[in-house]
Amino acid sequence: MTATLHPEPLAFKPSTHGPIRDERLSEIASKVAQGQRLSLQDGELLFTTPDIWTVCELADTVRRRLHGDTAFYNINRHLNYSNVCALSCKFCEFYRKKDEPGSYTRDMEYVKNQVREAIENGATEMHSVGGLHPYLPFSYYTDLVSTIRDTARELGSELHVKAYTAVEIVHLAKIAKVYKADDRTFGIRWVLEKLKQAGLGSLPGGGAEVFDDRVHDEAYKGKIRSDVWLDVHRVAHDLGLNTNATILYGHIEQRHDRLVHMDMLRRAQDRALAKMGYEGIRHQASGISENAAPTSGHLGYSGDEGAEVPVITLTRPNTPLPEHIAFGSSPNAECRMPNATAPSSGYFQTIIPLPFFPDGSELEHLPGPAGLENLRTLAIARLMLDNFPHVKAFWIMQTLPMAQLMLQSGADDIDGTVVWYDITKVGGSSTHQEVNVWTLQKAIREAGFKPIERDTLYRRVEREGKSWRPAAS
């Protein structure tokens, strides 16, 4: 096993949008200026240049093109319904075996109480994920979703239910005995349809880790691989559900693995946007993904049997985000859907880079990434993922001060009030990790942006006290 330490020259000191100091970056800078897709080779240079501030400035250019001077937060609550997990991922400190001290599974009374508190505090979203519990019946998972939805409604409000990672969706298909290895789509679709009927609004981005088989087999063997993770999100998109994506970095992966992960995600997004009616240029014709892994040239998930996929970027200059994607967020919302009959949902909204926290995990001997590596990885995510509308600096894992720097380096979102978070614990053992709205707004303002409260689908929230509704686009 090799730790990913990156000994290299010290970073340059920041300039204020001054000239590029590493001349090798000028070609990338001109691609960014024209809104062209960056190659994996470009990504390698962005990772190795000591001129990290130019990397951040380039990411900031793209971020401002999309979102101007606005930055998003939401009022939300995370609910980890159980930490009992059949898997034993080496990076994870959260999981417990059934009956092990500290293991828990929440019942519906607990869930209702969480919803009551959430509504009392004006929340618009409940984000719920857990371990792969070996014994809970399928009905638990639909009950969890409908309980959140219905309890909120009984209180005269609405909570968007963002729940279950792709890993859990496949686990649920197995529990419900609908998972067929030779036709994965069938079981995944069956589960997602049932959850949608119960009130599921979108899928969070967890469980992706890093799309690399070596790293998978060493650190999270037994978990679904990238092809299955991408399948779940493809089916969710086909059902009109928006989803997020994460990348867990700074453990035993190499930086190249991060770039491959980003490339696989953006190609999956190309496909999702193409289904929504967007047109782009052809991959092969453009030669853009010439050195993109996987070696077969396709993503390996069902429905991607080597077909040509258009490159669709959302980050070209003077091309505002399409209205239905931007909702109220674009500085100039003139753009219309290219095809009026195409679906207006079913794509990746946000990439969330997650820095590895070693404490308490089996990989505790590794140092984990530090500040500049986090900043750089997030900026590169903004630059590589040219068709993801949003980049989130999840303040719980990045810390609020770092999230401020990240807002100036590609991020446009810092997540929300969170309240309880059991998966990683910053600076201690408490899972109560809450900031109030005022603190989030202050952090955003201090970073030079206008705070906008959004709902899960990135619509501006109009609120009167605790009651809220999405602003008309």
> Which residue ranges make up the site for ligand V47 (CB under 6 A)?
91-94, 165, 204-207, 209, 244, 246, 248, 352, 354, 356-357, 361, 394, 415, 423-424
The set of residues, in sequence order, having a beta carbon less than 8 Å from that of 362 and lying 6+ positions away, is 88, 90, 91
Sequential DSSP letters for 60-122: HHHHHHHHTTEEEEE-EEEEE-B-B-S---TT-SS-B-TTSTT--B--HHHHHHHHHHHHHTT
Give me the residues paired with residue 247 across strands.
Answer: 353
Residue number of the CB closest to ligand V47 reads 206
Please state the closest distance from residue 193 (CB atom) to ligand V47, in A: 21
Residue closer to ligand V47 by CB (options 53, 94) is: 94
Please state the closest distance from residue 132 (CB atom) to ligand V47, in A: 12
In angstroms and rounded to an integer, the radius of gyration of the C-alpha atoms of the chain is: 21
Residue closer to ligand V47 by CB (options 320, 368) is: 368
Residue closer to ligand V47 by CB (options 58, 391) is: 391
Residue closer to ligand V47 by CB (options 56, 414) is: 414
Query: Going by DSSP bridges, is the β-strand pair 467-470/461-464 parallel, antiparallel, or unpaired?
Result: antiparallel
User: Is 131 in contact with 95 (CB distance < 8 Å)?
Assistant: yes
Identify residue 226 by its one-letter amino acid code.
Answer: S
Please state the closest distance from residue 203 (CB atom) to ligand V47, in A: 8
Please state the closest distance from residue 392 (CB atom) to ligand V47, in A: 6
Identify residue 251 by its one-letter amino acid code.
Answer: H
Q: Which of 138, 255, 154 is nearest to 191 (CA)?
A: 138
Residue closer to ligand V47 by CB (options 59, 248) is: 248
| DSSP symbol at 403 | H
Residue closer to ligand V47 by CB (options 92, 311) is: 92
The set of residues, in sequence order, having a beta carbon less than 8 Å from that of 443 and lying 6+ positions away, is 395, 400, 403, 404, 414
Cα of first residue to Cα of last residue in the chain, in angstroms, is 50
Identify residue 7 by its one-letter amino acid code.
Answer: P
Residue 289, both tokens: 């993904």
Element (H, E) at 452: strand 450-453
Please state the closest distance from residue 120 (CB atom) to ligand V47, in A: 22
The set of residues, in sequence order, having a beta carbon less than 8 Å from that of 182 and lying 6+ positions away, is none
Q: Which of 191, 184, 276, 164 is nearest to 226 (CA)?
A: 184
User: Is 147 in contact with 108 (CB distance < 8 Å)?
Assistant: yes
Please state the closest distance from residue 327 (CB atom) to ligand V47, in A: 17
Please state the closest distance from residue 339 (CB atom) to ligand V47, in A: 28
Please state the closest distance from residue 326 (CB atom) to ligand V47, in A: 18
Please state the closest distance from residue 210 (CB atom) to ligand V47, in A: 9
Buried b (16+ CB within 10 A) or exposed e, 386-418: bbbbbbbbbbbbbbbebbbbbbbbbbbbbbbbb
Residue closer to ligand V47 by CB (options 56, 203) is: 203
Residue closer to ligand V47 by CB (options 254, 319) is: 254
Residue closer to ligand V47 by CB (options 58, 219) is: 219
Residue closer to ligand V47 by CB (options 103, 319) is: 103
How far CA 13 is from CA of 46, 50, 59, 208, 270, in Å, comes to 16, 10, 17, 34, 36
The Cα angle at residue 231 between residues 92 and 166, in degrees rounded to 5: 30
Please state the closest distance from residue 39 (CB atom) to ligand V47, in A: 26
